[in-house]
Protein backbone atom coordinates (compact mmCIF):
# COMPACT_ATOMS: atom_id res chain seq x y z
CA UNK A 1 0.00 0.00 0.00
CA UNK A 2 1.27 3.48 -0.91
CA UNK A 3 1.10 5.71 2.15
CA UNK A 4 1.29 9.47 2.51
CA UNK A 5 4.89 10.57 2.95
CA UNK A 6 5.62 13.72 4.92
CA UNK A 7 8.95 15.53 5.19
CA UNK A 8 8.69 18.07 7.99
CA UNK A 9 10.94 20.64 9.63
CA UNK A 10 10.53 21.85 13.20
CA UNK A 11 12.17 25.26 13.62
CA UNK A 12 11.65 25.21 17.41
CA UNK A 13 12.49 28.67 18.92
CA UNK A 14 15.02 29.69 16.29
CA UNK A 15 15.25 32.36 13.56
CA UNK A 16 14.65 36.07 13.32
CA UNK A 17 11.83 37.10 11.01
CA UNK A 18 14.19 37.96 8.14
CA UNK A 19 16.09 34.68 8.54
CA UNK A 20 12.76 32.83 8.43
CA UNK A 21 11.75 34.56 5.19
CA UNK A 22 15.13 33.83 3.61
CA UNK A 23 14.96 30.19 4.64
CA UNK A 24 11.52 29.69 3.09
CA UNK A 25 12.67 31.34 -0.14
CA UNK A 26 15.70 29.04 -0.24
CA UNK A 27 13.61 25.96 0.43
CA UNK A 28 10.98 26.76 -2.15
CA UNK A 29 13.67 27.38 -4.76
CA UNK A 30 15.18 23.98 -3.97
CA UNK A 31 12.04 21.82 -4.09
CA UNK A 32 10.25 21.91 -7.41
CA UNK A 33 8.43 18.63 -7.52
CA UNK A 34 6.56 16.57 -5.01
CA UNK A 35 7.68 13.05 -5.91
CA UNK A 36 4.47 12.10 -4.11
CA UNK A 37 5.80 13.74 -0.93
CA UNK A 38 4.28 16.37 1.31
CA UNK A 39 6.50 19.07 2.79
CA UNK A 40 5.64 20.85 6.03
CA UNK A 41 7.44 23.37 8.24
CA UNK A 42 6.53 24.05 11.84
CA UNK A 43 6.99 27.77 12.34
CA UNK A 44 7.33 29.92 15.50
CA UNK A 45 3.85 31.32 16.15
CA UNK A 46 4.65 35.03 15.59
CA UNK A 47 5.68 34.32 12.00
CA UNK A 48 2.99 31.80 11.17
CA UNK A 49 0.68 34.06 9.21
CA UNK A 50 3.37 35.70 7.06
CA UNK A 51 5.25 32.49 6.40
CA UNK A 52 2.01 30.68 5.51
CA UNK A 53 1.30 33.40 2.90
CA UNK A 54 4.83 33.10 1.59
CA UNK A 55 4.39 29.33 1.27
CA UNK A 56 1.14 29.66 -0.68
CA UNK A 57 2.90 29.43 -4.06
CA UNK A 58 5.34 26.73 -2.98
CA UNK A 59 5.17 23.01 -2.27
CA UNK A 60 5.49 23.69 1.47
CA UNK A 61 2.64 23.99 3.93
CA UNK A 62 2.97 25.29 7.46
CA UNK A 63 2.09 24.12 10.92
CA UNK A 64 2.26 25.50 14.45
CA UNK A 65 4.51 23.86 17.04
CA UNK A 66 1.94 23.92 19.81
CA UNK A 67 -1.44 25.35 20.77
CA UNK A 68 -3.89 25.26 23.67
CA UNK A 69 -7.04 23.17 23.33
CA UNK A 70 -9.64 25.86 24.14
CA UNK A 71 -11.09 28.07 21.40
CA UNK A 72 -10.62 31.26 23.37
CA UNK A 73 -10.53 32.57 26.93
CA UNK A 74 -8.38 33.95 29.72
CA UNK A 75 -5.28 31.86 28.95
CA UNK A 76 -2.51 34.44 28.84
CA UNK A 77 0.34 33.50 26.56
CA UNK A 78 -1.46 30.67 24.78
CA UNK A 79 -2.65 30.42 21.17
CA UNK A 80 -5.87 28.69 20.14
CA UNK A 81 -6.66 26.25 17.33
CA UNK A 82 -8.82 28.96 15.76
CA UNK A 83 -5.84 31.31 15.67
CA UNK A 84 -3.57 28.66 14.23
CA UNK A 85 -6.10 27.88 11.52
CA UNK A 86 -6.70 31.60 10.87
CA UNK A 87 -2.97 32.07 10.27
CA UNK A 88 -3.08 29.58 7.40
CA UNK A 89 -1.54 26.51 9.03
CA UNK A 90 -2.43 23.05 7.76
CA UNK A 91 -0.68 21.04 10.51
CA UNK A 92 -0.25 21.22 14.24
CA UNK A 93 2.57 19.47 16.07
CA UNK A 94 1.23 17.89 19.25
CA UNK A 95 3.12 16.35 22.18
CA UNK A 96 6.66 17.11 21.02
CA UNK A 97 9.09 15.76 23.62
CA UNK A 98 10.17 19.30 24.54
CA UNK A 99 6.52 20.08 25.33
CA UNK A 100 6.14 16.86 27.33
CA UNK A 101 9.40 17.07 29.25
CA UNK A 102 10.11 20.80 29.65
CA UNK A 103 6.51 22.03 29.86
CA UNK A 104 5.08 18.91 31.54
CA UNK A 105 2.38 18.16 28.98
CA UNK A 106 0.51 14.98 29.80
CA UNK A 107 -1.08 12.35 27.58
CA UNK A 108 -4.42 13.87 28.56
CA UNK A 109 -3.31 17.33 27.34
CA UNK A 110 -2.10 15.74 24.12
CA UNK A 111 -5.47 14.06 23.60
CA UNK A 112 -7.39 17.30 24.21
CA UNK A 113 -5.19 19.06 21.68
CA UNK A 114 -5.69 16.32 19.08
CA UNK A 115 -9.45 16.61 19.50
CA UNK A 116 -9.34 20.42 19.29
CA UNK A 117 -7.18 20.24 16.17
CA UNK A 118 -9.61 17.91 14.41
CA UNK A 119 -12.54 20.16 15.31
CA UNK A 120 -10.76 23.04 13.58
CA UNK A 121 -9.61 21.09 10.52
CA UNK A 122 -5.95 21.10 11.49
CA UNK A 123 -3.95 17.93 10.82
CA UNK A 124 -2.39 16.69 14.06
CA UNK A 125 1.15 15.33 13.88
CA UNK A 126 1.46 13.49 17.19
CA UNK A 127 4.94 12.98 18.63
CA UNK A 128 5.74 9.92 20.74
CA UNK A 129 8.97 8.41 21.98
CA UNK A 130 10.81 6.95 24.94
CA UNK A 131 13.52 8.40 27.18
CA UNK A 132 16.95 6.78 27.24
CA UNK A 133 16.36 5.13 30.62
CA UNK A 134 13.01 3.77 29.40
CA UNK A 135 14.76 2.15 26.42
CA UNK A 136 17.49 0.76 28.66
CA UNK A 137 14.84 -0.72 30.97
CA UNK A 138 13.04 -2.34 28.02
CA UNK A 139 10.03 -0.09 28.51
CA UNK A 140 9.89 1.35 24.98
CA UNK A 141 6.82 -0.62 23.93
CA UNK A 142 4.94 0.28 27.11
CA UNK A 143 5.75 3.98 26.65
CA UNK A 144 4.65 3.95 23.01
CA UNK A 145 1.47 2.13 23.94
CA UNK A 146 0.65 4.62 26.68
CA UNK A 147 1.39 7.65 24.49
CA UNK A 148 -0.35 6.41 21.33
CA UNK A 149 -3.46 5.16 23.14
CA UNK A 150 -3.54 8.28 25.31
CA UNK A 151 -3.31 10.62 22.31
CA UNK A 152 -6.01 8.77 20.37
CA UNK A 153 -8.53 8.30 23.17
CA UNK A 154 -12.06 8.78 21.76
CA UNK A 155 -10.76 9.71 18.32
CA UNK A 156 -13.14 8.41 15.65
CA UNK A 157 -11.95 6.06 12.94
CA UNK A 158 -13.19 8.56 10.35
CA UNK A 159 -10.71 11.17 11.65
CA UNK A 160 -7.66 8.93 11.42
CA UNK A 161 -6.87 9.92 7.81
CA UNK A 162 -5.91 13.39 9.07
CA UNK A 163 -3.47 12.11 11.68
CA UNK A 164 0.23 11.32 11.41
CA UNK A 165 2.56 10.01 14.10
CA UNK A 166 6.18 11.05 14.57
CA UNK A 167 8.30 8.51 16.43
CA UNK A 168 10.95 10.60 18.14
CA UNK A 169 13.07 8.74 20.70
CA UNK A 170 13.95 11.44 23.22
CA UNK A 171 17.56 10.25 23.43
CA UNK A 172 17.97 11.02 19.71
CA UNK A 173 16.50 14.54 19.67
CA UNK A 174 19.12 17.24 19.33
CA UNK A 175 21.85 14.87 20.53
CA UNK A 176 23.41 13.79 17.23
CA UNK A 177 22.64 10.15 18.24
CA UNK A 178 20.30 9.04 15.47
CA UNK A 179 18.40 5.77 15.93
CA UNK A 180 19.64 3.09 13.57
CA UNK A 181 17.20 2.38 10.72
CA UNK A 182 16.52 -1.02 12.34
CA UNK A 183 15.69 0.46 15.76
CA UNK A 184 13.42 3.05 14.15
CA UNK A 185 11.74 0.42 11.95
CA UNK A 186 11.06 -1.80 14.96
CA UNK A 187 9.44 1.08 16.85
CA UNK A 188 7.37 2.04 13.80
CA UNK A 189 6.10 -1.52 13.49
CA UNK A 190 5.16 -1.43 17.20
CA UNK A 191 3.25 1.82 16.63
CA UNK A 192 1.39 0.26 13.69
CA UNK A 193 0.51 -2.74 15.84
CA UNK A 194 -0.89 -0.51 18.58
CA UNK A 195 -2.98 1.33 15.99
CA UNK A 196 -4.09 -1.98 14.48
CA UNK A 197 -5.42 -2.98 17.90
CA UNK A 198 -7.39 0.26 18.09
CA UNK A 199 -8.61 0.76 14.52
CA UNK A 200 -7.83 -2.35 12.46
CA UNK A 201 -5.27 -3.12 9.79
CA UNK A 202 -6.42 -0.74 7.03
CA UNK A 203 -5.79 2.27 9.22
CA UNK A 204 -2.62 0.90 10.78
CA UNK A 205 -1.21 0.22 7.32
CA UNK A 206 -2.17 3.61 5.92
CA UNK A 207 -1.24 6.01 8.74
CA UNK A 208 2.02 7.88 8.06
CA UNK A 209 4.64 7.20 10.73
CA UNK A 210 7.60 9.60 10.55
CA UNK A 211 10.95 9.24 12.26
CA UNK A 212 12.55 12.17 14.12
CA UNK A 213 15.78 12.51 16.08
CA UNK A 214 19.10 13.81 14.68
CA UNK A 215 18.13 13.25 11.04
CA UNK A 216 20.91 14.69 8.85
CA UNK A 217 21.82 14.63 5.15
CA UNK A 218 24.20 11.72 5.79
CA UNK A 219 21.71 9.41 7.54
CA UNK A 220 18.43 10.14 5.73
CA UNK A 221 18.91 7.55 2.96
CA UNK A 222 19.26 4.62 5.39
CA UNK A 223 16.19 5.65 7.37
CA UNK A 224 14.01 6.44 4.36
CA UNK A 225 14.56 3.06 2.71
CA UNK A 226 12.86 1.25 5.60
CA UNK A 227 9.36 -0.01 4.77
CA UNK A 228 7.63 1.55 7.76
CA UNK A 229 9.30 4.98 7.76
CA UNK A 230 7.05 7.37 5.83
CA UNK A 231 9.11 10.53 6.07
CA UNK A 232 10.91 12.46 8.77
CA UNK A 233 10.47 15.24 11.31
CA UNK A 234 13.69 17.24 11.40
CA UNK A 235 14.77 19.79 14.01
CA UNK A 236 18.33 21.16 13.81
CA UNK A 237 18.93 20.16 10.20
CA UNK A 238 15.76 21.94 9.05
CA UNK A 239 17.23 25.35 9.91
CA UNK A 240 19.56 25.68 6.92
CA UNK A 241 18.80 25.03 3.25
CA UNK A 242 22.15 23.26 2.81
CA UNK A 243 21.03 20.63 5.36
CA UNK A 244 17.27 20.42 4.80
CA UNK A 245 17.24 20.32 0.99
CA UNK A 246 19.30 17.11 0.69
CA UNK A 247 16.97 15.53 3.26
CA UNK A 248 13.67 16.45 1.57
CA UNK A 249 15.15 15.62 -1.85
CA UNK A 250 16.51 12.21 -0.83
CA UNK A 251 16.27 9.72 -3.68
CA UNK A 252 13.56 7.07 -3.65
The stretch among 33-41, 142-150, 186-194, 207-215 that binds ligand PEP (CB under 6 A) is: 207-215
Residue 82: how many CB atoms within 10 A of its CB? 16
Q: How many residues bind ligand PEP (CB under 6 A)?
A: 14
Among 67, 163, 215, 247, binds ligand PEP (CB under 6 A): 215
**Shortest gap between Cβ of 169 and ligand PEP (angstroms)?**
9
Per CB under 6 A, 92 contacts ligand PEP: no
Contact range with ligand PEP by CB under 6 A, out of 21-29, 139-147, 200-208, 227-235 = 227-235
User: Minimum CB separation from ligand PEP for residue 212, in Å?
Assistant: 4
Q: One of 96, 105, 134, 185 is an active-site residue; which one?
A: 96
Catalytic residue status for 70: no
168 catalytic residue (yes or no): yes
Closest-approach residue to ligand PEP (CB)? 235
Candidates 174, 197, 202, 205: give the one binding ligand PEP (CB under 6 A): 174
The residues annotated as belonging to the active site are: 96, 168
Residues that bind ligand PEP (CB under 6 A): 10, 12, 168, 173-174, 212-215, 233-237
Amino acid sequence: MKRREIFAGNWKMYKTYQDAVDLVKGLSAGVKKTDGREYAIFIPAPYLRDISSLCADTLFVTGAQNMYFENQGAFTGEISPLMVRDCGAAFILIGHSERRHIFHETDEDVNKKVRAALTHRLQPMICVGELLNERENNETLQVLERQVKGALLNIEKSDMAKISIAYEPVWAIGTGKVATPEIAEEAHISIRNIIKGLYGSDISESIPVLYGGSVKPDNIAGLYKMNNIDGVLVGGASLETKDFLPIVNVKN
